[in-house]
Amino acid sequence: MADALAQLDSKLSGLIAQLGPAQRRALARQIVTRLRASQQQRIRQQQNPDGSGFEARRPQLRKKKGAIRRQMFTKLRLARYLKTQAGPAGGAVEFIAQVQRIARVHQLGLRDRVSRHRGVMAQYPARELLGFSNADIDSIQDQVITHLATPV
């Protein structure tokens, strides 16, 4: 994945450098907006950037009605928690607030408490919530080329 991003950067950096700061900011805003939408869709489909599915949840001990959601990360993919930042230097899609800690634990497959009130620790499997798929890289290339081709 890092190879593909390095190739993308080497191909387009010279062209993007010729744009003014306002045009770079507008381009970054377009890219991160579309990137956030693709990340939200991927999280909804419960897929890693490489197309493989998330590792299934462990069986739950309690059978309390309504306690277990059918789909993981329903709130994480909301625009309220998945924010975009765009500027002349680049853009970013990131989780904010308390959700950031939860997302990091699942992204990296770390060990964390099951709930705030109970001291039970669990090892979570790595589920890549944010990442570049090949379709995302192609979309970024197309957006840059389209932006450069349109007259100002």
Please, what's the b/e burial string for 13-23 (b: 16 or more CB within 10 A of its CB; e: otherwise)? eeebeebeeee
What residues does each domain of the chain span?
2-9+24-53+72-149
C-alpha separations of 110 from 67, 69, 121, 122 in Å: 23, 21, 10, 9
The pTM of this model reads: 0.82
Q: Count the residues in the chain.
A: 152
pLDDT of 54-73, one tens digit each?
Answer: 988 877 666 655 555 567 88
pLDDT of 80-132, one tens digit each?
Answer: 999 999 999 889 999 998 899 999 999 999 999 888 787 789 899 999 999 99
Q: How far apart are CA 108 and CA 72, in angstroms?
A: 16
